[in-house]
Amino acid sequence: MNSFLYQKTILTKTKLSVLVIMFFAPLSIVISQNQPNIVWVVCEDISPYIGAYGDATVRTPNIDALAQEGVRFTRVYTTAGVCAPSRSSIITGMNQISIGTSHMRTKNRPSLMPEGVPSHSAVLPKNVKAFPEYLRKVGYYTTNNAKEDYQFEEPVTVWDESSVAASYQNRAPGQPFYSVFNFAISHESQIISPPDSLHHQPDEMVLPLYYENTAQMRHDKAALYTRIEQMDSDVGELITQLKEDGVYDSSYVIFYSDHGGNLPWMKREVLERGLHIPFIVKYPNGTNAGTVNNDLISSIDFAPSMLSIAGAEIPGYLQGKAFLGPGKSQEKNRYVFAGRDRMADKYDRVRSVSDGTFRYVYNFHPEVSKYQDLAYRKQMASMQEIIEMRDAGTITNPYLLDWFKTPKPQEELYYTAKDPDEVHNLANEPSYWKKKEELKQVLFEWLEAVGDMGEIPEKEMVVEQWWNGKNEPPLTKNPKIKKNREGVALSCDTEGASIGYRIFDGSPADTTITRPIHTWGFYWLFRDGDKKTIEVPKPWSVYAGGTIPLKKGQTIQVNAHRIGYRPNETTYKFN
């Protein structure tokens, strides 16, 4: 069952909205065909190595064409240099350090967690939701194909569909949609396992200043460019599908990377190379085509911007500003912030602020080196070579040697507009003292304002604060079903819980449906496989108050879930 059943569609060729009156409560929620569709095209682990951003080597014709038809944003930054913390801030509109999702990662195999820290779903503040839930409440069909990685198990109310089969194509006729398509082919793992053949000769590659100029390092950068070009081809296939389905022109199509990266000393860093991302917006009907936006934007601004596009109310707790849609903020960012905490089982705490010209970094633990000895990253051939050279004492590049120095400086200041590789630390230069003090003050005022949970020992945060000293998270309490003449109303004793429901004509039996697997999206590896379909859960509807109409003999299944708590389900047969 889809989130909304349509009772009547009023068709008109005028500029008036086409209203679709929904069968389910609350009746005050209506869908307007003036609500634009939103498509997110999300790649992984790349800085702006895109032709449209001036890279003369890489070939990205499909993304370049999207930029020609849209707006190329030049100064967009993520809040973390690694996927799960970054994605947690994007989906919630809250910086990861303020909600306890900054450690990479929280949901992990126990053997990969630090000693004494259980694998866990982060317990978010009671008012914090994943923002697609708000889109569903104003009529959007929400799909995610297919990576989540939010540091928490999301409630059933977030997505109509989240799987390798998820697609806007399954929505009701005329229903606006928000659809995410994740492309993993540029992920770090795809350099660890490089392509069989390269699109570029390694000798063509120009390396950043912080690498030794070795054949292996040039090979891995050529592999990165090859993967980006393969990703561009995948993006082209998706855009072709959007056009064939007749939704391209009427949609916002937004291309971006979940953070920078992905070679050694890029990914995971709160520097330009870990945070600066490509970001392109194709507006409906080609508005603003071929233009450039130089505003300073954080990924914390994505959530309020999507709600603005949809015409949804923007919750006051969100920490970002809308930069798109009718609810666009008139106030622009003067600074963007980022943080890094635990990676695998290695703890560090680093905070960063940029004004778009300078970057200030504060290291809370100067006693450890900038380098973190991560088993996953050491699978990459160039990383292995760097370690071998370090151990043999053959590194001659002073900037690369700086990665391994202990102690590291407590403060770093980079003139990023002139030093994009951030190899010249100006923190001790008297002529830059005023700028350093400005950014330091801004950073610590921001930490005070949003709250920095990174200063709390992780085990204490999880077990003592979130789980109340227990060995498992709390249970979402008592989802309740109250019958009336027309149907039922729902409630839950746990404040902040989201409530989803599904209706069956009899008792719940088949709770899954078969969907075709799509050949674009995160699971591009399925292309050469034999598997064509997959079983996915039947979508849940979002409860937004009021009475849910039921017929005699129907059964309602209810799922209540506060993020970070264990979900709780109940069913009721209406007689």
pLDDT digits (tens, 9 = 90+) for 53-100: 999 999 999 999 999 999 999 999 999 999 999 999 999 999 999 999
pLDDT of residue 109: 86
CATH 3.90.25 fits 350-466, yes or no: no
Neighbours of 184 (CB within 10 A): 22
Whether 492 is a known active-site residue: answer no
Stretch 563-570: mean pLDDT: 98
Per cent of the chain over pLDDT 90 is 89
| Active-site residue, from 83, 91, 123, 253 | 83
Contact 511, 540 (CB under 8 A): no
Stretch 405-428: mean pLDDT: 98
Stretch 343-370: mean pLDDT: 98
pLDDT of residue 288: 97
User: Is residue 306's pLDDT more than 50?
Assistant: yes
| Domain residue limits, the chain | 35-109+119-331, 350-466
Average pLDDT, the chain: 92
Contact 195, 230 (CB under 8 A): yes
User: Is residue 232's pLDDT more than 90?
Assistant: yes
DSSP single-letter state for residue 144: E
**Exposed, middle or buried: residue 363 (CB in 10 Å: 0-12, 13-18, 19+)?**
buried
pLDDT, tens digit (0-9, with 9 covering 90-100), for 499-526: 999 999 999 989 999 998 876 554 444 4
Among positive and negative, which fits the CA dihedral 327, 319, 80, 403?
A: positive
Please, what's the largest Cα pairwise distance for the chain?
81
pLDDT of residue 10: 23
pLDDT of residue 520: 59
Among positive and negative, which fits the CA dihedral 4, 9, 12, 13?
A: positive
User: Is residue 26's pLDDT more than 50?
Assistant: no
Contact 87, 230 (CB under 8 A): no
CATH 3.40.50.10710 fits 35-109+119-331, yes or no: no
pLDDT of residue 519: 62
pLDDT of residue 526: 47
pLDDT, tens digit (0-9, with 9 covering 90-100), for 519-560: 655 444 444 456 788 899 999 999 999 999 999 999 999 999
Determine the residue type at 424. Answer: H
User: Is residue 14's pLDDT more than 50?
Assistant: no
pLDDT, tens digit (0-9, with 9 covering 90-100), for 329-340: 999 999 999 999
Taking CA atoms, 138 is separated from 158, 173, 310, in Å, by: 13, 16, 8
pLDDT, tens digit (0-9, with 9 covering 90-100), for 181-218: 999 999 999 999 999 999 999 999 999 999 999 999 99
Confidence of residue 2 (pLDDT cuts 50, 70, 90): very low
User: Is residue 7's pLDDT more than 50?
Assistant: no
pLDDT of residue 533: 87
Phi-psi region of 292 (alpha: psi -120 to 50; beta: other; left: phi over 0): beta
pLDDT of residue 9: 27
pLDDT of residue 110: 87
Stretch 117-146: mean pLDDT: 97
Phi-psi region of 93 (alpha: psi -120 to 50; beta: other; left: phi over 0): left
Confidence of residue 478 (pLDDT cuts 50, 70, 90): very high
- Enumerate helices (H) and strands (E) in the chain, giving the number of each: 12, 24
Q: What is the pTM of this model?
A: 0.93
pLDDT, tens digit (0-9, with 9 covering 90-100), for 149-187: 999 999 999 999 999 899 999 999 999 999 999 999 999
Confidence of residue 353 (pLDDT cuts 50, 70, 90): very high
Confidence of residue 294 (pLDDT cuts 50, 70, 90): very high
Stretch 228-251: mean pLDDT: 96
Stretch 133-145: mean pLDDT: 97
